[in-house]
Amino acid sequence: MSSELHVLPYALVVLLGALSPGPDFALVTRHAALHGRRAGVAAGVGIGGGMAVNTLAALLGVGAVIAAAPWLYATIRYLGAAYLVYLGAMALLSLRRRSGGEEASEPGPDGPPPGRGQVGSAFRQGLITNILNPKAIVFLVALMPQFMPAAPSVLDRVVVGSVTTAVTLGWFVLVALAVSALRRVFRRPAVRRGLNAVTGTLLVGLAVRLVLT
């Protein structure tokens, strides 16, 4: 690994990016609150997987192609916005249920785990949301060269890619664990309705913002 590779500063910048409010945080919070720890962690793992794909695309030059092709960037952006609208609409439609949305699946502090379908759905939502966010790829294309040597080795690229994925994954798994620890609070129908209303509105709002910016 090159001595000119600034791993720690890069990890801190990636962490700051992960900390910023967005669809990833909304998805992990919603799944962890409504379906428990396993679903929340699955959403976080999906987000980490999506970031791994974005990082690989940036390192292989695909990100630069996307950034340089307005039509391709716009296509991915619109697909991402449409998916966020779909997720937001599903959250808002769940308000029609008397229970306040999706039923909590864990009767105790942890209780029986959610079904495989729910865990798989949480993973897919995190993965697709991240992959269909062209801003993440463009961000990485602009960010990574600032912390790597002028002629980075394969090992340098692997380290940077690994740090990006690990920091993102670690943060959202931590969020999932923290939110799922408050499961007793989220069992209340009124609280679940409020969570679905907030996350659903937020996801739709983020979709509009993605299209307009």
Q: What is the pLDDT of residue 79?
A: 92
pTM of this prediction? 0.83
Task: Look at residue 119 and tell me whether its pLDDT is greater than 70.
Answer: yes
Nearest to 28 by CA among 18, 16, 14: 18
Contact call for residues 96 and 193 (beta carbons, < 8 A): no
pLDDT band with cut points at 50, 70 and 90 for residue 97: low
Q: What is the pLDDT of residue 187?
A: 77
Q: 194: exposed, middle or buried (C-beta count within 10 Å: 0-12, 13-18, 19+)? A: middle
Contact call for residues 209 and 81 (beta carbons, < 8 A): no
pLDDT band with cut points at 50, 70 and 90 for residue 183: confident
- Average pLDDT for the chain: 84
Lowest mean pLDDT among 37-46, 107-116, 173-182: 107-116
Structure-block tokens of residue 122: 């949480």
CA angle 44, 25, 50 (to 5 degrees): 45
Task: Look at residue 109 and tell me whether its pLDDT is greater than 60.
Answer: no
Burial code (b: 16+ CB inside 10 Å, e: under 16) for 56-74 equals: bbbbeebbeebbeeeeebe
User: How confident is the model over 138-181, as pLDDT tens digits?
Assistant: 888 888 888 888 788 888 888 888 999 999 999 999 999 999 88
Residue bearing the bigger pLDDT, 119 or 188: 119
Q: Is the dihedral of CA 126, 127, 133, 135 positive or negative?
A: positive
Q: What is the pLDDT of residue 137?
A: 85
Contact call for residues 166 and 178 (beta carbons, < 8 A): no
